[in-house]
Amino acid sequence: MERAILHADMDAFYAAIEQRDRPELRGRPVIVGGTPEGRGVVSTASYEARRFGVHSAMPAVTAVRLCPDGVFLPPDMRRYRAVSQQIFEIFRSYTPLVEGLSSDEAFLDVTGSQRLFGDAVTIAGRIRVEVREKTQLTVSIGVAPNKLLAKIGSDLDKPDGLTVIPTERVAAILRDLPASRIPGLGRRVQERLGSAGIRTIGQLAALPCRTLEEWFGDFGSTLYRLSRGQDERPVDPGRERKSISAETTFARDERDLDELERRLLSFSHELTFSLRSEKLLAKTVTLKLRDPQFRTRTRSHTLDQATDGAREVFETAQRLLSGLAIRGGVRLIGIGLSQLRPAEGGRQLSLLEDRTKDRDATAALDGIRARFGKGAILPARLVEPGAAESERPATE
């Protein structure tokens, strides 16, 4: 039986969530990430902003120049991850073979699901409807016999598209597409192809395998197969998330140690809430700093035991920060957690330390945040000092 693979890709995910939750932003160019002062980079741009040429990974200073009337918003990763979990639950209701690539895209192997839910196109249609009904967001899906073609297909009719690439039409569909549509083609490979006059996938497919091997070594034979739409990689549901991180770029270079530690405390709570939501533990904490000259420094510490506790993450990041000079100011600060592992069985407690009460309290706080939002309850240090009493969240 021929494989039936879907590639599902949410449309302008972060920006779409902001427009969903804030009706006044609908129809406006929304840019998530970076600042109006031109700091940081764009994480996601709404389709209204993309008409001005704004795209992800673009420096914010360029986005401001291209789209001066854009609405720049800081990312709310906890909210985005909660929506991502909803979406992946929908994916897994149709097949256990789901390989997440990021919070907003995944491969699904529905070969064995067709007797239960209908053919692959029917399943893709049902997923699109269910995502829209449950999240009020849209997803574009490519349907094909392999991962390469499914991923290419999902990008051909965005937003809210459904593209089918059947085996008998592979050559015709790929022929006139830019060679850059092949996923994973780096800048240097594209430049080498361009210098040889190779602009389309069809032109690339016409080259002998030996020529591509002479140009690119072992990658040449892989490129030869990809240009013909050949891809035998299985959908891997065991693909594990390797890290999780949060960072911010300041509007002005920050020299106040207390403010830097407040940010680290906020990130510690945000990231560990996500760990607990996904039943993960982290063993390595990494601090990231960028100075006004754009020099980036990182420092890491590996814990004796993996954790999902905000206090342990914050105290580790705090110690790492104390070892770095910040006299010239900080442009960007962030925390990364890595060496992630499943939390089944929980953490190993010290023989001298019983944290049952702490864990029970954390579970109760997580329930409040899940129901009322991340700002519903905060450490007292994170409450804005100027907030009116009626505007303040509860404090831990």
Does the bond joining 145 to the residue before it have cis omega, within 30 degrees of 0? no
Strand partners, 73: 32
H or E element that contains 248: strand 243-254
Give dist(CA 291, CA 253) in Å, integer.
8
In terms of DSSP bridges, do strands 5-10 and 139-144 run parallel, antiparallel, or are they unpaired? antiparallel
Directed axis angle between helix 310-322 and helix 257-277, to 10°?
150
Give dist(CA 223, CA 196) in Å, integer.
15
Q: With contact defined as beta carbons under 8 Å apart, do 153 and 144 qualify? A: yes
Q: With contact defined as beta carbons under 8 Å apart, do 365 and 308 qualify? A: no
Query: How many C-beta atoms lie closer than 10 Å to residue 106's C-beta?
Result: 24
Query: How many C-beta atoms lie closer than 10 Å to residue 361's C-beta?
Result: 12
What is the three-class DSSP state of 176?
Answer: coil
DSSP letters, 273-333, are HHHHHTTEEEEEEEEEEE-TT--EEEEEEEEEEEE--HHHHHHHHHHHHHTS--TT-EEEE
Q: Of the listed 18, 48, 99, 105, which one is catalytic?
A: 105
DSSP letters, 194-235, are HHTT--BHHHHHTS-HHHHHHHHTHHHHHHHHHTTT---PPP
Exposed (0-12), middle (13-18) or buried (19+): which is 382, by Cβ within 10 Å?
middle
**In the sheet where 5-10 sits, what is the strand order?**
98-102, 105-109, 5-10, 139-144, 162-164
Whole-angstrom CA distances from 125 to 109, 113, 306 are 15, 14, 41
What is the three-class DSSP state of 266?
Answer: helix
Q: Catalytic: 105?
A: yes
Exposed (0-12), middle (13-18) or buried (19+): which is 201, by Cβ within 10 Å?
buried
Residues marked active site are found at: 105
